[in-house]
Amino acid sequence: MLTKKSRHSESEMQFRYERKFHAVDMSTAELIAIVKSHPAHFIEVYPPRWVNNVYFDSASLREYVFHIYGEARRSKVRLRWYGDRFGKVNDPVLEIKAKRGMVGTKTHTGISDFDFDGSFDMFWLRDQLQSNENGEGLRGFMSSAMPALFNRYARRYFESADRQFRITIDTDMSFHIVGKRRYSYMDDFLEKRLSVCELKYAREADVEADRISRILPFRVSKHSKYVYGIQRLHGHVEETIA
């Protein structure tokens, strides 16, 4: 887990709630129709795009283990960009996604553009953090971290009429080994059945979120794409897809 020194203080963070839902064997068109027909009047607020992430962890996958055993204070570190998987990566952002029980937040550190071919140069990334004044909180963690997983999915964005709630729909998820990691007998996995919907809102809207959630015909989940991807590449999953 990231050390106290590497975390921003909680007083500096804006925490939000996330409720995640599994949608099984449903097309993207069906999912969009369900969200748009919701009484909260969700409308699409951003163009669809591909999301790419490289997740980082220790050699022993310590952060993965913390998530498996339900640590209340846990973090994920990932490098995110949008668009093509391979080739020139523009405007990549290194994120710490921190969870404190049911609420979470993100902190962001921009890094230079680079070329991605499925492998990753940690020496280059560490140099980036050394020269970036916003990278101080990540230097300790990254000094021993390695790329653990690449994942990619198509995302759609929706917002309620009162602008208190956002829903994202993630489809066409794929997971891949990065570099020399060999903790799995599979190098990649394409998820053909499962989509993930996330309802996102501020803590003060939690009561109203119950009403929003009850109308969505999806199964509530504690889904983590990082955990799910590691387990899929191991040949088993955190939750049964039924």
Q: pLDDT tens for residues 44-99?
A: 999 999 999 999 998 888 888 888 877 666 788 999 999 999 999 999 999 988 76
How much is the pLDDT for 8?
Answer: 35
**Rounded mean pLDDT, 217-226:** 89
Tell me how far CA of residue 78 lies from CA of 51, 63, 87, 216, in angstroms.
Answer: 12, 12, 18, 29
Q: Which residue has the tokens 């937040």?
A: 105
Q: Domain spans of the chain? A: 13-234
What integer pLDDT is reported at residue 185 of this predicted model? 62
Could you say which architecture CATH assigns to the domain 13-234? Alpha-Beta Barrel (3.20)
Residue for token digits 């069906």? 30
User: What pLDDT sits at residue 6?
Assistant: 36
71-86: per-residue pLDDT in tens? 666 788 999 999 999 9
pTM: 0.86
User: Parallel, antiparallel, or unpaired: how do β-strands 114-116 and 146-159 relate?
Assistant: unpaired
Residues 12-55: tens digit of each pLDDT? 345 678 899 999 999 999 999 999 999 999 999 999 999 999 99
- pLDDT of the residue at 12: 34
Residue 124: pLDDT band with limits 50, 70, 90? very high
Whether the CB-CB separation of 221 and 19 falls below 8 Å is answered with no
| Three-state secondary structure of 48-98 | EEEEEEEEEECCCCHHHHHHHCCCCEEEEEEEEEECCCCEEECCCEEEEEE
The overall average pLDDT reported for the chain is 85
